[in-house]
Structure 1
Amino acid sequence: MASGNPFFDDIRTKSEVDPPQDEDMMDVSEFVNDPAQTALKPNVAVSSSVRDLLECPVCLNAMYPPIHQCSNGHTLCSGCKPRVHNRCPTCRHELGNIRCLALEKVAASLELPCKFQSFGCMGIYPYYSKLKHESQCVYRPYNCPYAGSECTVIGDIPYLVAHLKDDHKVDMHSGSTFNHRYVKSNPQEVENATWMLTVFSCFGQYFCLHFEAFQLGTAPVYIAFLRFMGDDNEAKNYSYSLEVGGNGRKMIWQGVPRSIRDSHKKARDSFDGLIIQRNMALFFSGGDRKELKLRVTGRIWKEQ
């Protein structure tokens, strides 16, 4: 929808607005809990025109209470109201504090399909609980787990596995044990470099092994950690160990893989993995300490 209004267009480019918190939702409890409205819900046919009415003209997201309106009846979500400096983006009249209770009541009577229907969710949910369901829906897609790029691809696990293989040229391995050698000619260059991502297939699941260098404060370190391609409740069914060593010394890490629901950065910055300080890594490498040569071995197993 083109507005022709530079002020309006500038606002629409801002990031999406988070839905209001629970205290705002309490304002419409009289509608949600009304037996007459509940009885009507199964028979409500939600036309596209009704959905359009519930779409904020600024952020284009679904509106939740409190829904505001100007004196001419144009509506706006509560998140966008401060953005427009209390001026209606449609007619430029002052907004004031007028609630559109009728539209809030219409919303309370609706049931809508989950937005992840195309990924397999067949559920139908009341308008005011649909957002919460979607934040936890088991069918919601995953973000691409590849680090070191601004990849925005989303999809289910089979799709992402093919994407990692075809588009990111990630090494794919079958089996629950691994033995990888990491070599870098100039270990002084850290600069948050992502070195390696390997995908393992075992136990009918997929796991991502990350190995990279980054700055921990002012100290350069190396970290290796495993992520599970699935939800956190499934990830907890597995454990893994990592081992690195040289010159008669050895370091061992054992942990639980993180779900790829957590971002790569969140997993890395939690230090939930095998962390090797650079001096120790160079000691493991032997030689003149001018080249990094690390051999990391590991195993994945399923807990009983």
Structure 2
Amino acid sequence: MIPGGSSYMDVPEFHPSNQDSSPIGSSTESENSQLSKKIASSVSKLGLSSTGSMHELLECPVCTNSMYPPIHQCPNGHTLCSSCKLRVHNHCPTCRCELGSIRCLALEKVAESLEMPCRYHNLGCSDIFLYYNKLKHEQTCGFRPYNCPYAGSECLITGDIPSLVSHLKHDHKVDMHDGCTFNHRYVKTNPHEVENATWMLTVFNCFGQHFCLHFEAFLLGVVPVYMAFLRFMGDENEAKSFSYSLEVGGNNRKLIWQGVPRSIRDSHKKVRDSYDGLVIHRNMALFFSSGNRKELKLRITGRIWKE
């Protein structure tokens, strides 16, 4: 199955040391002087213009992201980030000189004392951070956009919850329901063919929030299974305010799952691969379906409540 989400990584804080043994470089005194004047010119400006100038100075010319140590430079003083140094095969993207192992320690030191707003300040985050704390905060900022929770394609759409609800309805044609209870019937004419690309998604509007009910079939090793689980369209701390139950049954038997919905901050694949939901093996699913093993008929009921 192709997931619709993405993952984040923690980025450790970095504090440059004055005892760093990496060389400033083999550039000439004149070239170093030009770089120093460029930095000094930006630092001398005050207020928002200073922050904007420094942000531009610390922007990698290749990926356009903010540069974090080690910041590399060519003999002519052009800088770029360590990730892009590998991407450009150790040659400066500006002048094509070989990069070698030159570090721009002056720029790293200037960045150490720089304060900058979160990149999501236009979305409502008003916090200000030291340069080397900023990136770590942005990995978990509550104002960062959400990824589209649809699991059927590599959808790259991001946005706030209202825009994603509209996107799911109009672009992915997802069924929308109001209410906190559900009664779904899933039918499959050939239950012996289970591929890692069978899924369904329904969005519920409940308690003024939105929830994604996933149902899908996939192979657990070589064993076909069916799985249903709920994701909350919001952050994890909000998701913990709710609980849900799922029930499937037949032939006077029933299987019940109860849990807390996962946030859509967790990718679809992460939730599915943790088996955090109602998992039904195919033999049990066929037993619930009246036992003729020729057609799968599963009825899943459930409800959402607020703790």
Distance 1:93 1:77, change over 3 A: same
Q: Report if aligned partners of 1:41, 1:110 keep a CA contact under 8 Å in 2.
A: no
1:281 alignment partner, SS class: helix
Tell me the TM-score normalized by structure 1.
0.83
Q: Counterparts of 1:99 and 1:80 in 2: how far apart (Å)?
A: 14
Task: State how far apart, in whole Å, the 1-side matches of 2:46 and 2:214 are.
Answer: 48
1:93-242 to 2 correspondence within 5 Å? 93-242=97-246
C-alpha distance in structure 1 between counterparts of 2:18 and 2:118, whole Å: 22
One-letter amino acid matched to 1:27: P
User: Which of 48, 51, 57 is the equivalent residue of 1:53?
Assistant: 57
Of the structure 1 ranges 178-187 and 70-79, higher mean CA displacement relative to structure 2 is found in 70-79
Mapped contact 1:235–1:259 kept (Cα < 8 A): yes
**CA positional deviation for 1:93:** 2.8
CA distance in 2, matches of 1:43, 1:117: 17
SS in 2 for 1:279: helix
Structure 2: 5+ residue runs without aligned partners?
1-8, 20-43
Partner of 1:27: 16
| Equivalent residue letter for 1:75 | T
SS where residue 50 of structure 2 aligns?
coil
> What's the offset of the Cα at 1:220?
0.4
CA pair 161-301 structure 1, distance change in 2 beyond 3 A? same
Provide the rounded CA distance (Å) in 1 between the counterparts of 2:274 and 2:94: 46
The structure, 1 or 2, with the larger RCO (C-alpha pairs under 8 Å, 6+ apart) is 2
CA distance in 2, matches of 1:83, 1:196: 39
Match of 1:285 among 274, 289, 302: 289
CA displacement at 1:41 relative to structure 2: 11
CA distance in 1 between counterparts of 2:17 and 2:162 reads: 41
Amino acid at match of 1:120: G
Change (3 A) 1:80 1:171: same
CA deviation after TM superposition for structure 1 residue 59, in Å: 2.4
In 1, Cα distance between equivalents of 2:239 and 2:233: 8
For 2:59 and 2:193, how far apart are their aligned partners in 1?
A: 49
252-261 or 194-203, which moves further after superposition?
Answer: 194-203
What is the CA-CA distance between 1:95 and the residue it aligns to? 2.5
**Structure 2 length as normaliser, TM-score?**
0.82
CA contact (8 A) 1:108 1:126 kept: yes
- Alpha-carbon contact 1:109-1:126 (below 8 Å) kept: yes
Is the contact made by 2:51 and 2:116 (CA closer than 8 Å) also made in structure 1? no
Change (3 A) 1:289 1:112: same
User: Contact 1:238 / 1:256 at 8 angstroms: preserved in 2?
Assistant: yes
Of 245, 253, 257, 1:253 maps to 257
| Matching residue of 2:73 | 69
1:29 CA drift (Å): 8.1
| 1:78 and 2:82 matched | yes
Question: Could you tell which deviates more after superposition, 94-103 or 149-158?
Answer: 94-103
Cα distance in 1, alignment partners of residues 71 and 253 from structure 2: 64
Structure 2 CA distance for aligned equivalents of residues 193 and 181 of structure 1: 19
CA contact (8 A) 1:41 1:111 kept: no
Unaligned runs of 5+ in 1: 1-17, 31-39
For 1:161 and 1:29, locate their aligned partners in 2 and report how far apart those are by CA, in whole Å. 50
Structure 1 Cα separation of the partners of residues 202 and 18 of structure 2: 50
Question: Which string of whole-angstrom CA distances, capped at 9 and with x for unpartnered residues, describes residues 243-277 of structure 1?
Answer: 00101111111111111001111111111111111
How far apart, in 2, do the equivalents of 1:130 and 1:52 lie?
15
Deviation at 1:65, TM superposition (A): 1.8
Identical amino acids, percent of aligned pairs: 73
State which drifts further: 89-98 or 179-188. Answer: 89-98
| Equivalent position SS for 1:79 | helix
Superposition RMSD in Å? 2.4
Helix, strand or coil for the counterpart of 2:272?
A: helix
> What secondary structure, in the 3-state scheme, does the structure 1 residue paired with 2:110 have?
helix
Closer, same or farther: CA 212–96 of 1 in aligned 2, 3 Å:
same
